[in-house]
Amino acid sequence: MSQIDFPFHFDGRGRTAQTDESGYIRDLIEQVLLTAPGERVMRPNFGSGVMQLVFAAASPEVAATTQFLIQGALQQWLSDVITVDTVDVQAQDGALLITVQYVERRTQTRGVAQISAPGGGS
């Protein structure tokens, strides 16, 4: 089953780009992680708050805090789609590298999503 790809764009034929189920789930994870609470009008609580840490120094403490934020947000918003196995957050070169290992509930397929969130400060 095809889904609309995120972020929205057009494919080489000028049509709305589509993705498969696994790509769609990775897109959902990215949306949850990179959306700030209050950013969506009809869902003011949607998101994880990870991007609020952009101006915090990329440190092990920030990485641990981010890990708990991500785990809670994914359980709240995507628990009907995925089961989260592990969330790993590392501070690397002024950015946070987020790795989420999960199992798709419908197919029981394992997946990995990696997202880099820019870090600020020093």
Is 87 strand, coil or helix? strand
Q: What are phi and psi of 36, to 5 degrees?
A: -85, 140
| Confidence at residue 57, expressed as pLDDT on a 0 to 100 scale | 62
| Confidence at residue 15, expressed as pLDDT on a 0 to 100 scale | 86
Query: Count of domains in the chain?
Result: 1
Per the structure, the complete domain to which residue 31 belongs is given by: 3-118
| Confidence at residue 58, expressed as pLDDT on a 0 to 100 scale | 60
| Confidence at residue 121, expressed as pLDDT on a 0 to 100 scale | 46
| Confidence at residue 122, expressed as pLDDT on a 0 to 100 scale | 45
Residue 37 is part of a domain; what is its CATH number? Answer: 3.10.450.40
H or E segment and range at residue 83: strand 82-92
| Confidence at residue 112, expressed as pLDDT on a 0 to 100 scale | 95
- Dihedral Cα 37, 122, 27, 74, nearest 10 deg: -50
- Mean pLDDT, consecutive 10-residue stretches, the chain (122 aa), reads 76 86 88 87 87 66 80 93 91 79 94 80 46
Cα angle: 74, vertex 120, 92; to 5 degrees: 70
Contact 98, 112 (CB under 8 A): no
